[in-house]
Amino acid sequence: MKTRTETSFTAPRHGLGWCALVALSAVALVIAPIGVCSAAASPDASDYCDPALCKPNHAHIGCNATGQFGELCPAQTTQLVPMEQPLKDLILKLHNGLRSELAGGKMDGFAAAERMAVLEWDDELASLAEHNARTCQYLHDECRSTERYRNAGQNIGRKSQAGNVTIDLERAITDLTNKWWQEYVESNQTVMDDYRAVGEGVDVGHFAQMASDRVTKVGCGATSYYHEARKRSYVYYVCNYSHSNEHGQPVYRKGTQCAQCAETKCSPTFPGLCEGIGDAIDKELYPAASAS
């Protein structure tokens, strides 16, 4: 089977305990972060054509969205991956397991986090992620903000394999999510304390997005398709997050794990993460949206 690696991959220099990174299969992986800048919400709850949601001259992925596949999607083979509960649970387990290792001080070279939330699923963020995935274009959308989350972040990834084959979805999502996180090998606590670019050709944006203690919600979408001209099968995976990192701000506040969980408790399932604190963090970041 012919394979191709489309981006460089650096093996981890130290282990991650509970969340030991799954070995990547011999397939192509492409990833890209969008960098700087409770009950789940109902899909399409915002007026996405409201110019106040986006920066000037930035198009919202949900504005006038038709729900159809884009021009780059092969007409006969493109399918939207149903984000049913088992896949949602997998994505949340992957994210929270990795965050737990960091927040609990179990990653060499990184301090524990005093208040990092257990991530919850958000249907509206997932719906917008699906709009991006339906384009079959490996590209960040310009804007994916919602009425509640005005600075939403995004990670995208793509996995391909030679031939007209069925790519295992759970394995693809696991590999891509783990590879986002694996950028920690290029990062350090200095970057976590004051988020910034770490040098030309070095990207830690996926890791920083997943590690942010301002993020409380995640929602993802994916498509699968076979490209006849390239003779390759693809899974295109998009995750949207309730907040994005900003230059000059910490990715997370270091300290004793769960020290600032306030009235909530430290999660027994994901040690080091605060359980049920998402709404309180959202109110701090988006007071106007929380009050409405």
User: What per-residue confidence (pLDDT) applies to 163?
Assistant: 97
- Alpha-carbon distances, residue 205 vs 2, 22, 185, 246, 269 (angstroms): 30, 20, 12, 11, 26
- What residue type is 170 in one-letter code? E
Domain 26-34+73-291 has CATH 3.40.33.10: yes
What local confidence, expressed as pLDDT, does residue 289 receive? Answer: 72
Residue 10's pLDDT is: 26
Per-residue CA distances from 97 to 15, 73, 112, 210 (Å)? 13, 33, 14, 11
Cα–Cα distance measured from residue 36 to residue 206, given in angstroms and rounded to the nearest whole number: 11
Model pTM score = 0.86
pLDDT of residue 136: 97
Nearest to 187 by CA among 69, 13, 8: 13
Residue 30's pLDDT is what? 60
Domain ranges (residues) in the chain: 26-34+73-291
The list of the chain residues with pLDDT below 70 reads: 1-45, 197, 199-201, 290-292
